[in-house]
Amino acid sequence: MNELRLINDLFDLDPFDSPGRQLMRPWRPLADEPLAPSMRIDLADNGDAYLLKADIPGVAKDDIEVRIDGRQVTLSAEVKQEQTTPGNGGRTLRSERRHGFASRSFALDSTIDEGKAEAHYRNGVLELTLPKKGGAAGGRKLAIAG
């Protein structure tokens, strides 16, 4: 067999299986594979500031963008896939490393003080400290420290 394929028993068992459906099986996407990179977050409010942690594995610090505009916070990241070619006449059997663009945007209860906001990125986790402010302000792009 030349093709490597993950088996999902629940998806492969079909009580209404037909020969026509069996022919289409190699082209059907696997149910457990995400189509785009995901960005999972934890958000906490400690009274004076919002503390945010976002899992963004496999992304370089320079490919992450944090934008703050009043109460609106937008996280964007570009995942770039390396081009790998096996040596010694080998061939790639399966490539599951993803590439693409992920973005999350949300509004908070209080306006953020952009001048005091901090961002750090370590080991695939982006940590933001977003101090609260009472008045209105213009938006700015936040620099991420390593």
In this structure, what CATH number is given to the domain that contains residue 114?
2.60.40.790
Assess if residue 51 is contained within a domain.
Answer: yes
Taking only the tens of pLDDT, the chain with its 146 residues reads 445 555 555 455 555 666 665 555 555 455 555 555 678 999 999 989 999 999 988 888 999 999 999 999 999 998 776 666 666 667 777 766 667 888 899 899 999 999 999 999 999 999 999 999 865 445 667 888 87
Domain count, the chain: 1
**What per-residue confidence (pLDDT) applies to 1?**
44
- Report the alpha-carbon angle 46-110-101, nearest 5: 90
Assess if residue 15 is contained within a domain.
Answer: no
* Residues linked to residue 135 through DSSP beta bridges, in sequence order: none
Query: How far apart (Å, rounded) are the C-alpha atoms in residues 51 and 70?
Result: 16
**Domain membership of residue 107 as a residue range:** 36-81+99-146
Assess if residue 135 is contained within a domain.
Answer: yes
Contact 99, 81 (CB under 8 A): yes
Query: How far apart (Å, rounded) are the C-alpha atoms in residues 43 and 52?
Result: 5
